[in-house]
Amino acid sequence: MRDRGMIEGLTFEAAPEAVTRPLVSLIVPVLNEQDAVIPFVQAIDGMVQSQWPVLEDRPRLEIIFVDDGSTDATAAVLRGLCAGDKRVKLIQLSRNFGKEAALSAGLKASRGDAVVPMDVDLQDPPELLRPMIDRWQSGVQVVNARRCDRSSDTMFKRSSAQLFYKAINSLADHPIAEDVGDFRLFDRAAVDALNQMTEHSRFNKGLFSWIGFRTETLDYVRPQRAVGDTKWKFSKLLALAVDGIVASTTFPLRIWTILGSVISLLAFGYAGFLVIRTVLFGVDTPGYASLMAAVLMLGGLNLLSLGLMGEYIGRIAKQVRGRPLYIVADKVGF
């Protein structure tokens, strides 16, 4: 029933209040995924129709694919999708900048009231979007999706991931959520905070933890990859792990301050012992083995500490150069 109102003695019927459906942005970084993008969009369509059977209840969607320098027909397939579906948008980067940069490009371009990064391989189940959005609409600003069962991963990947989380959370100033990847929902306020971050050596999981906001977690079983092969090689995973530790804490630098202090105290104590022994018992012939052990140990520690400082200094150099995190070659659908 319409409300009635009066302006200077005139009576009128007010129009019903307009109801705006929320806009949800899906951020999908892709690299050589020409066979996966169409099944992904089809899976999203099927999820929307099954989870929100009433059209008026459905959130509006924009699906932002970020092509991170693909060399196959991924860009051509995405351009075709953009031409036939206004929800689909394409950001094409000028070359491969890495998933962290591609994800940042998608976050920057998103317009949604809520934003959800997802993998195109459907290991991030579209069916989880409905409970994530429901939590968000109840007032939660960040909804994490935690992998409670990683049996689909190899033994090496599971063990290395467990080791990484234990290492980084024992060192990081702000621990990251274990077994939570990029698949999570962000409120617009959280996305705006992330877009203010200027780090060049990007570790998004650390940034997601650092911004805070009201957070809840949903558990899910991670399925097998639906199409294609993973693009994460061991060297890339190792580089990401180093970036994560270096970006999350300066504690490794402090270790060498502590270790140097301890070694200095031991050295002064040993020097005092040698002076006293020489005064009391005279000079004896120094042992070659003990001398070489001390030299090699201290030399190794010096090289290790220099290498660690080099990791931080290298990232400082990248930051000081001021180059952009990524370069957009083209945008379609915006």
- Give per-residue pLDDT as tens, 117-141: 998 888 888 988 999 998 998 889 9
**Between these two residues, 284 and 211, which has the higher pLDDT value?**
211
* Position 317 pLDDT exceeds 80: no
Residues 204 and 109 occupy one common structural domain: yes
Identify the band that residue 9 occupies on the pLDDT scale cut at 50, 70 and 90: very low
* 256 shares its domain with 227: no
Q: Verify that 51 and 148 share a domain, yes or no.
A: yes
- Over residues 178-200, the pLDDT tens digits come to 778 788 899 999 999 989 887 77
Q: Is residue 95 part of a domain?
A: yes
Tell me which residue has tokens 């911004």: 211
* pLDDT of 2 strictly over 50: no
Cα 31 off chain centre by: 17
Instruction: Give the separation between CA 316 and CA 271, rounded to whole angstroms.
Output: 38
- On whether residue 19 sits in a domain, the answer given is no
222 and 261 in a single domain? The answer is no
Examine the domain organization and report whether 30 and 132 are in the same domain: yes
What CATH number is given to the structural domain containing 107?
3.90.550.10
Q: What percent of the chain has pLDDT over 70?
A: 62
> Mean pLDDT, the chain, as a whole number?
76
Task: Judge if 151 and 101 occupy the same domain.
Answer: yes
Q: How far apart are the C-alpha atoms of 14 and 197, rounded to whole Å? A: 45
**Is residue 167 domain-shared with residue 262, that is, in the same domain?**
no
| pLDDT: which is higher, 193 or 333 | 193
Any domain includes 71: yes
Whether residue 8 lies inside any domain: the answer is: no
Q: Is residue 307 part of a domain?
A: yes
Query: Mean pLDDT over residues 213-231, rounded?
Result: 73
Spatial CA neighbour of 220 closest among 267, 185, 169: 185
Asked whether the predicted pLDDT for residue 18 surpasses 50, the reply is no
284 and 156 within one domain: no
Q: What is the mean pLDDT of residues 286-291?
A: 59
Lowest model confidence (mean pLDDT) among 6-10, 35-39, 54-58, 305-309? 6-10
CA atoms of 103 and 53, how far apart (whole Å): 30
Shared-domain flag, residues 97 and 187: yes
| pLDDT value of residue 12 | 32
Between 303 and 63, residue with greater pLDDT:
63
Does residue 170 belong to any structural domain of this protein? yes
240 domain residue, yes or no: no
Instruction: Output the pLDDT for position 240.
Output: 60
Tell me which range, 2-16, 97-111, 229-243, 246-260, is most confidently predicted by mean pLDDT. Answer: 97-111
Same domain, 170 and 31: yes
- Evaluated on CA atoms 130, 133, 138, 144, the torsion sign reads positive
pLDDT of 16 > 50? The answer is no
Same domain, 95 and 210: yes
Same domain, 42 and 181: yes
Number of domains in the chain: 2
pLDDT (0 to 100) of residue 64: 94
The pTM is what?
A: 0.67
Q: Which domain holds residue 258?
A: 251-321
Q: Report the pLDDT averaged over residues 195-208.
A: 80
C-alpha 298, offset from chain centre: 37
When comparing pLDDT for 217 and 19, which is higher? 217
